[in-house]
């Protein structure tokens, strides 16, 4: 029977070993879920104590926010980008985990004799082993994880570009709709004044009831268009607030029209040839493909016999000590990791085709958008020319209408045609500006790349 002193020494060794193992462990701390929304109630750049705007909690800074301010705020505040940054952080943690060395394995067994003589002692077997195969495949798995981390960062960058593009598009649409609302409000005010005069003339017997009803119908129609435009403005404003992570009742003060420098089709065509080195989503797919190459290489390395070596120290019940070593080899007879190699090979082909499809779509979408933009510009020139002609005709018709030499129906038709042309010109201008924003995103470069031939870094936002 062992003496108590030996038991105490053995217990101390076990406690010391446990303390060494647990000393570097992480500790757990709970993180409760939120119970309240965290939407911002202050516009970007506005002080928290800023007075509330009409119908909203807080307005923007006194100078207003231009399209670049809105784009910057979208990158900093967008809720979806928060999740994308979390995904990038997860990929970084996975790359860190893949780069860690595998831990050795320690085994300990104790046997206590239940019968025998007084010379018998308890037996033990202590072993320390290490998986050599894990070291062989570690470089490939670590490289794959690093490529995955780069892919996550590039996916985040591409998503930021998409958010910037969406913010600029909403800015352009909101400004254009507000301009249209201004034109319609001006026309409604003019028609309302004319209708009041018509009622007065009708009471005096100088105008027929039919003519007055025609003006009332025109006034009601323009009121309908004003209401539709106001609903569209409110929808765009709410979409922009959601994109910026703002509360729905925050109202932004905008300045400028959001238009970028004119697009140069020749520069866009030149930028198309640099897409694989410029656009973040293509760079992300390249990183993912490189990571898959490493995973395939790791699967091929894993087909070789797995090897684990270790050393042992033992004592039997007769108090005989022995030392030795052990080797464990997995015999590659049936499996040989062929299934994993087939899966990784098929995955590589899938990623290859996905990259090719994305590259084809980038070229095709850009060419289609260039053609659409050219057509929009041609139509805009024609519409503006038509609006100029109608303005000149209205200037000539105004004296005749005031003198009673032009009937109300002809005069009203001329004003309605001019209003429609102005609204059409505003819609086409909005479409051209939105096409410019989309082109700057599709070619994966900044404004300078589509307006000149200067090179641009792939890390620059559009």
- Is residue 219 scored above 90 in pLDDT? no
Q: Which ranges constitute the DSSP H helices of 44-131?
A: 67-77, 79-98
Evaluate whether residue 162 is within a structural domain.
yes
Which one is predicted more confidently, 169 or 218? 169
- pLDDT tens, position by position, 418-428: 999 999 999 99
Q: What is the pLDDT of residue 13?
A: 63
Evaluate whether residue 340 is within a structural domain.
yes
Number of neighbours of residue 262 by Cβ within 10 angstroms: 10
Read off φ and ψ for residue 93, nearest 5 degrees.
-65, -40
Eight-state DSSP code of residue 319 = S
Q: What is the pLDDT of residue 49?
A: 38
Evaluate whether residue 337 is within a structural domain.
yes
- Is residue 451 scored above 50 in pLDDT? no
Closest CA to 198 of 393, 404, 391: 404
And the tokens for 372? 């659409």
Evaluate whether residue 5 is within a structural domain.
no
- Is residue 448 scored above 70 in pLDDT? no
Let me know if 20 is exposed, middle or buried by CB neighbors in 10 A (0-12, 13-18, 19+).
Answer: exposed
Q: What is the pLDDT of residue 138?
A: 84
User: Domain tally for the chain?
Assistant: 1
Q: What is the pLDDT of residue 8?
A: 60
Reduced to 3 states (helix: H, G, I; strand: E, B; else coil), residue 449 is: helix
- pLDDT tens, position by position, 381-412: 999 999 999 999 989 888 888 787 887 778 88
Residue 132 belongs to what domain range? 66-445
Q: How confident is the model at residue 196 (pLDDT cuts 50, 70, 90)?
A: confident
- Is residue 148 scored above 70 in pLDDT? yes
Helix (H), strand (E) at residue 130: strand 123-131
Eight-state DSSP code of residue 105 = E
Mean pLDDT, residues 67-72 = 90
- The HSE-up count of residue 341 (CA atoms within 13 Å, CB side) is 11
Mean pLDDT, residues 292-308 = 87
Which one is predicted more confidently, 241 or 450? 241
How many angstroms separate the CA atoms of 215 and 409, rounded?
A: 9
Q: How confident is the model at residue 268 (pLDDT cuts 50, 70, 90)?
A: confident
Q: What is the pLDDT of residue 111?
A: 87
Query: Which parts of 299-437 are beta strand (E)?
Result: 307-315, 321-329
CATH assignment at residue 233: 1.20.1600.10
Contact status, residue 391 vs residue 282, Cβ threshold 8 Å:
no
Number of neighbours of residue 97 by Cβ within 10 angstroms: 11
Evaluate whether residue 58 is within a structural domain.
no
The end-to-end CA distance of the chain, in Å, is: 80
Q: How confident is the model at residue 287 (pLDDT cuts 50, 70, 90)?
A: very high
Percentage of residues in the chain having pLDDT higher than 90? 35
Contact status, residue 257 vs residue 266, Cβ threshold 8 Å:
no
Evaluate whether residue 180 is within a structural domain.
yes
Evaluate whether residue 9 is within a structural domain.
no
Query: Which parts of 180-225 are beta strand (E)?
Result: none
Number of neighbours of residue 195 by Cβ within 10 angstroms: 18
Mean pLDDT, residues 12-33 = 68
Q: What is the pLDDT of residue 115?
A: 81
pTM over 0.85: no
Q: What is the pLDDT of residue 56?
A: 46
- pLDDT tens, position by position, 304-348: 877 888 888 888 888 888 888 888 888 778 888 889 899 999 999
Which one is predicted more confidently, 234 or 1? 234
Average pLDDT of the chain is 83
Closest CA to 191 of 209, 225, 215: 215
């Amino acid at each position: 029977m062992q003496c108590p002193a030996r038991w105490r020494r053995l217990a101390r060794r076990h406690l010391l070993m446990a303390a060494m193992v647990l000393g570097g462990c992480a500790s757990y701390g709970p993180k409760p879920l939120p119970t309240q929304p965290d939407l911002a109630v202050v516009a970007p750049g506005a002080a928290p104590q800023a007075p509330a705007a009409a119908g909203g909690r807080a307005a923007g800074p006194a100078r207003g926010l231009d399209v670049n301010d809105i784009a910057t705020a979208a990158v900093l505040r967008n809720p979806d980008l928060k999740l994308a940054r979390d995904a990038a952080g997860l990929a970084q943690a996975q790359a860190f985990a893949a780069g860690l060395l595998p831990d050795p394995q320690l085994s300990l067994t104790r046997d206590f004799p239940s019968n025998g003589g007084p010379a018998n002692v308890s037996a033990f077997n202590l072993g320390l082993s290490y998986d050599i195969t894990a070291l062989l495949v570690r470089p490939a798995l670590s490289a794959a994880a690093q490529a995955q981390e780069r892919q996550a960062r590039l996916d985040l960058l591409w998503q930021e570009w998409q958010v910037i593009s969406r913010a600029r598009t909403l800015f352009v649409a909101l400004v254009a709709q507000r301009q249209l609302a201004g034109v319609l409000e001006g026309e409604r005010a003019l028609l309302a004044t004319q209708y009041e005069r018509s009622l007065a003339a009708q009471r005096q017997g100088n105008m027929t009831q039919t003519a007055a009803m025609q003006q009332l119908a025109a006034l009601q129609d323009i009121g309908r268009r004003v209401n539709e435009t106001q609903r569209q403005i409110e929808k765009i404003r709410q979409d922009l607030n959601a994109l910026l992570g703002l509360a729905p009742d925050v109202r932004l003060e905008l300045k400028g029209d959001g238009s970028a420098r004119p697009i140069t089709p020749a520069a866009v065509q030149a930028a198309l040839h640099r897409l694989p080195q410029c656009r973040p989503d293509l760079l992300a797919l390249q990183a993912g493909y490189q990571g898959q190459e490493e995973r395939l290489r790791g699967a091929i390395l894993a087909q070789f016999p797995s090897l684990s070596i270790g050393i042992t120290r033992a004592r039997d019940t007769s108090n005989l000590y022995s030392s030795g070593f052990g080797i464990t080899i997995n015999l590659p007879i049936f499996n040989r990791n062929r299934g994993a190699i087939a899966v990784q090979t098929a995955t590589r082909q899938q990623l290859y085709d996905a990259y090719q499809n994305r590259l084809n779509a980038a070229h095709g979408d850009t060419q289609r958008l260039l053609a659409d933009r050219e057509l929009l510009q041609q139509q805009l020139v024609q519409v503006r020319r038509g609006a100029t002609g109608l303005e000149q005709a209205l200037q000539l018709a105004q004296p005749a209408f005031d003198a009673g030499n032009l009937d109300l129906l002809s005069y009203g038709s001329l004003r309605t045609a001019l209003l429609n042309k102005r609204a059409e010109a505003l819609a086409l201008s909005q479409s051209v500006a939105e096409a410019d924003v989309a082109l700057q995103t599709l070619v994966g470069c900044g404004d300078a790349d589509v307006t000149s031939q200067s090179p641009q870094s792939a890390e620059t936002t559009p």
